[in-house]
Structure 1
């Protein structure tokens, strides 16, 4: 009798250890992206970059391969952007100064005479070559850094400079590599000096790719107003490639809740209609995201689902042909990317 009880007990234990069969349908990424209706216009910014016209570029721009800061091309770009509901271009502003940046901004201001678009700056501190052992303070450049923002005042005074809640928008390129001895103090002094002369700042930290938010939070908390990830497409993980909209959705949901709950920091979605890393690096092992309307539709709706208080979506990019992320019309796809963007971000 004891033998029979032992057999029955063993059978019950084995049965309790068995699990239901797991299928692809059970995967956390296996869900459809749903459309988020446009009940109110979204604020749409687009990165505007310099181009080197890599020989590997296969797409043919409808505006031709124009020189950087070309005014004829700039005028056409402004008209196209306005037709797509883009609210502003984001231009690089380097410290120390880079001539092509100023030329690009000047071209825009000259050709935007009808005030169709706004503009804002992407602050580029990369030329400083900051490191953890060669910080802003150690280079003796803190006062120069603050002065470089004061040098923006003539641009801030332009009626078309982009603002959020009356604050002047400036994004910080590679904000997670802005090495300072006391980063919070540097940003605090910057804000105080600018506010004292009437210019409150809305600072957005650009991070090149998504990481768990705690990894770089010390570069953002008590320093910035928002964070965005300018590139979530350049990756070599097949699951992220196959389910990219779903992956971004889960990443952004987590980041949005984390940043907002811990420091009141806004998470701003940045998306692109496609990407081809092999244009710049033919040996790249990263995946190509083809320009397909279903993908761009999905990624825009993921952005809308995870929108922050300022209702801002950033597009990377308007004209980066070296990575095929451009919204700018091309021969093979016409203005389809621009048309889809407007339909998904503007009420009319």
Structure 2
């Protein structure tokens, strides 16, 4: 009889254990299970957009610019286009365009092309409606394959050329049209995480010292590659830059989990990254968002998830609010990638199919 009682008690405990499992964690407990709320604008954000220099129109590009298809051979933009771009940028509430510049020492032809495009902007912006900033297009390829085991200091010529690249642009940094953070010219460094050096802090200290001797104290924003943890590049950023931005999370999405919950995943990543950068590096964070993205233009057979445009622009609106939630309270910088990247369908620029929809979204989301 005693054995019967023991078996009955065991059965009771097992049944109740099963019931507890049935009332365990649910989708409601998931950290990503929340809505992205509309963040009201009580103070204007400082919004920039990357301006793309491209060689031609891919046959797979379906969208057509409202201003018509244009070219920029050797940096010479089709006449009449830049004033229209500036007018549209102002309409969107953009504060500045960011133009890429390549090494005048190691990529001289492209540097001349970049400089020509920037000069075209300055000449077209006679009334000072918009500002511009520059992004140093750094790559290890430009510098002959420097790496963690082959840092830039090992080649004195390359190191000298690196510093000279920045000294060459000082006249631009002093231009009245140039975007500033406070009284400091805003300078982006693309692929900053690949500046392999024995001491990145020493490199940046020398760079700042040389620029200061020429009358310039820049606010430097370094790029970190997309979907990477904030601690990965501590040696490349700590004591080096004033702020960090990520390569666009909302472009080149090749993971379906990220596609389904993109705003929430970006929000959680940025919240953690922003907090980590602030507490451990003492630097600000600059959110970077993209209006749309298509793999099909460059890779028609791609099966990766597409980030398409919609009649309402609902996804982009959510990403605008994620950006506002994670912008620095000190600088309020927001980046959009990009203005005219038609080769990836990530452009903010108006097209015949969607008109000025995305300009209007940006103006409403970031300006009072």
Alpha-carbon spacing, 1:129–1:280, altered in 2? closer, same or farther (3 Å): farther
Counterpart for residue 44 of structure 1: 47
Question: What is aligned with 1:119?
Answer: 132
For the pair 1:268 / 2:286, whether they are aligned, the reply is yes
* Unmatched tracts of structure 2, length 5 or more: none
| TM-score normalised by the chain length of structure 2 | 0.89
Match of 1:216 among 233, 245, 255: 233
Question: Which stretch of the first structure deviates more once superposed, 236-245 or 132-141?
Answer: 132-141
Distance 1:278 1:134, change over 3 A: farther
> Which position in structure 2 is the counterpart of 1:301?
321
Aligned to 2:300: 282
> For 2:190 and 2:15, how far apart are their aligned partners in 1?
56
Q: Is 2:312 the partner of 1:311? A: no
| Residues 301-344 of structure 1, C-alpha deviations (whole Å, 9 max, x = no match) | 00001111210000000000001111100011001000110011
Taking structure 1 as reference, are residues 116 and 23 closer, same or farther at Cα in structure 2, changes over 3 Å only? same
Q: For 2:240 and 2:8, locate their aligned partners in 1 and report how far apart those are by CA, in whole Å.
A: 65
Distance in 2 (alpha carbons) for counterparts of 1:22 and 1:346: 41
Structure 1 residues 94-113: aligned runs within 5 Å: 94-95=102-103, 96=106, 97=108, 98=110, 99-113=112-126
Q: What is the 5 A alignment of 1:167-316? A: 167-233=184-250, 234-292=252-310, 293-308=313-328, 309-316=330-337
8 Å contact kept, 2:50–2:97: yes
* CA offset digits 1:168-211 (Å, max 9, x no partner): 21111111111223222111111122223331111111123121
> CA separation in 2, counterparts of 1:206 and 1:54?
27
Partner residue in 1 for 2:154: 138
- TM-score for the superposition, normalised by structure 1: 0.94
Counterpart residue number, 1:340: 361
Question: CA, structure 1 residues 13+191, in 2 after alignment: closer, same or farther (shift >3 Å)?
Answer: farther
Conserved in 1, the CA contact under 8 Å of 2:90 and 2:129? yes
The alpha carbon displacement at 1:242 in A equals: 1.1
What SS is found at the alignment partner of 1:90?
strand
TM superposition shift of 1:265: 1.5
Question: In the aligned structure 1, how far is the partner of 2:213 from the partner of 2:170?
Answer: 13
Which region of structure 1 is more displaced relative to structure 2, 20-29 or 293-302? 20-29
Matched residue of 1:285: which SS? coil
User: Are 1:206 and 1:229, in contact at CA under 8 Å, matched by a contact in 2?
Assistant: yes
Shift of 1:294: 0.7
Question: Moved runs in structure 1, 4+ residues, more than 4 A?
Answer: none
Once the 2 structures are TM-superposed, how far is the Cα of residue 37 of structure 1 from its aligned partner? Answer: 0.4
- Secondary structure of the residue aligned to 1:235 is coil
User: For 1:23 and 1:322, how far apart are their aligned partners in 2?
Assistant: 42
* Aligned residues between the structures: 347
Q: 1:33, 1:343 → 2: CA distance?
A: 16
**Superposition CA RMSD, Å:** 1.8
TM-aligned CA deviation for residue 282 of structure 1: 1.9
After TM superposition, the structure 1 stretch with the greater mean CA deviation from structure 2, 34-43 or 198-207, is: 198-207
Q: Write the distance in 1 (CA, Å) between the matches of 2:234 and 2:253.
A: 22
